[in-house]
Amino acid sequence: MCGIVGYVGSRKALPILINGLKRLEYRGYDSAGLALLQDDGLLISKSVGKIKHLEDALGDRSNSQASHGIAHTRWATHGEPNYVNAHPHTDNNCEIALVHNGIIENYRTLREYLVRQGYIIKTDTDTEILAHLIHFSYQGDLVEAVRGALTQVEGAYGIAVVSSLHPDLIVAARKGSPLVIGQGVDENFVASDVSAMLEHTNRVVYLDDDEIAAVTPNTFEITHIDRTRRDPQVEEISWTLDMIEKEGFDHFMLKEIHEQPTTIRNAIRGRLNFEEGIARLNGLNLQYDELRTISRIIITACGTSWHSALIGKYLIEEIARVPVEVEYASEFRYRSPIVDSQTVLFAISQSGETADTLAAMREAKKHGATVLGIVNAVGSTIARESHGGVYIHAGPEIGVASTKAFTSQVMVLTLIANLLGRMRNWSVAQGREMIEAVEAIPAQIESILANEDAIKAIADAYHQATNFLYLGRGINFPVALEGALKLKEISYIHAEGYPAAEMKHGPIALIDENMPVVVIALKDPVYDKVMSNIAEVRARNGRVIAIATEGDTEIADRVNEVIYIPHTHRLLTPCLAVIPLQLLSYHIAVMRDCSVDQPRNLAKSVTVE
């Protein structure tokens, strides 16, 4: 992995490929490369590091008139990030070139076989094996050569293949790694993400697993690996180019933090019934009587989405009184989970393509569970393969560290909990109280964002710390986890989140004057308990940064720093409490001169297990 762009048409391919790669920079990568189909054969150019290094490496070749090519940004899985391992990879005759996202699990076996056939292996990657395997299968038809190679492959892939023997043809294929075709006029595109082609077209076709596409300037033909044809359904993307620009902000992450009042409004628009105090979520595809009889829910996710799932557990169990289990998607299908037709599984993924989450969802479907997706990307694999679900409508999230998608996920989970609760045991009055509080959340987030300078000053005071501890209780324990994750992801400071009461069972040994402790201390039923935990930290010379409720006059004298958030419904506090933690992490990372939007070693959409 991480980014693929392909173009075939009548225009110069090079600037289209380079600009497409730049649109995908947010995904994180360590090298870049491209292959252009010229009259005298394939032009291959690669570089380690940023795309600007690739542009420098092209030199005089940047004037290429080629109108057909593929390009890639790589996030290393097999082999270190260097020139040799960068994509594209070619066969030994340099007649076939391909770029690849994913992992070929049986590449060692295939490698040994190809070496016995006389192929010279030059890289440490699994991808090079595919280039040789396609060449080995080639009998004059590139599509059939790709098909033949892929029947021997185990693992995940999204690939784009070109050959000097087949001008005006890109062969694309996917299994477990997203790939989309963009339809233009006398030109077509291939990419791993619509953002790479959005400036040229908003008409796209998503490939499904085990599908192969033959793409020319005027046509694209999609077949299953078993040669069954599919009539492509063209979708129109509603995103605009402005939505993937920084619009005056220094970083995409900061822009996306500030977009949260808008994204929350988008998540709730048309979904609130004030008279009945209930959420409308028709996308779940469940009738009211089915909602009333749900007896068990599993929520599966990874990373930040897992933290939103934990908040969903608190919400659903308290409001609807339905037992909820939260599972790491990466562990779910490997531990013989107890799943049957009475189970409802929610799969949460911003991209809708997260490999582990997709695998967990498919495992649950095998056992007869009702599978519902909570995703951001319309047309994503999870959206297409689930029985129903809810889009969060956060728009494109470019920063690798998720912010606006997290709060939108939490808001959608709140609406799901409200709907289930109203179907079961919550009164109209309780439902209305929550719905009214939900409507107020965007304006309350705006008031927190208006206090950014004060949060920035706190970041300045603590940005040189090497360790942080985050504490929360109840529904705000997952917020502590999320705050710690954000700091780790973008500032490279070691941080851990804990339930506040668990501090005494180990982490308290770490506390001294050099250990900042961020505590979510809101006016709720566990406020007094949290204040006791703060006292324990202060008694050991720990420095406390508190997230507190406006109007709390008691806490300022007991902590070193305090950030206030507005009062809201007790179960909605996570959507507010996380905002200052996002800003704190962002400003600390900037002060440490870190790559905020593209943290080292991280990728936006993790499409390998």
* Rounded Cα–Cα distance for residues 331 and 267 (Å): 29
DSSP 510: G
Q: Which two tokens stand for residue 480?
A: 């502590």
What string of H, E and C letters represents the secondary structure of 52-78?
HHHHHHHHHHHHCCCCEEEEEEECCCC
CB 554 within 8 A of CB 535: no
3-class secondary structure, 254:
helix
Residue 506 — φ and ψ, nearest 5°? 145, -65
DSSP 374: E
CB 400 within 8 A of CB 27: yes
* Rounded Cα–Cα distance for residues 144 and 471 (Å): 57
Question: Counting Cβ atoms within 10 Å, is residue 86 exposed (0-12), middle (13-18) or buried (19+)?
Answer: buried
Task: Please name which of 89, 93, 169, 99 lies closest in space to residue 136, comparing C-alpha atoms.
Answer: 93
Q: Which two tokens stand for residue 114?
A: 């190809």
- Residue pointed to by tokens 């939103």: 308
CB 1 within 8 A of CB 102: yes
What string of H, E and C letters represents the secondary structure of 150-184?
HCCCCEEEEEEEEECCCCCCEEEEEEECCCEEEEC
Catalytic residues: 2, 604
Task: Please name which of 586, 409, 381 lies closest in space to residue 490, comparing C-alpha atoms.
Answer: 586
Helix (H) or strand (E) holding 456: helix 452-462
Q: Which two tokens stand for residue 607?
A: 């499409």
Strand order in the sheet with 68-74: 41-48, 31-38, 68-74, 2-8, 188-191, 180-183, 203-206, 235-236
DSSP 248: T
Q: What is the number of alpha carbons within 13 Å of residue 16 lying toward its C-beta?
A: 30
Residue 564 — φ and ψ, nearest 5°? -95, 145
3-class secondary structure, 10:
coil
Q: What is the number of alpha carbons within 13 Å of residue 266 lying toward its C-beta?
A: 17
* Rounded Cα–Cα distance for residues 364 and 376 (Å): 21
Helix (H) or strand (E) holding 308: helix 303-320
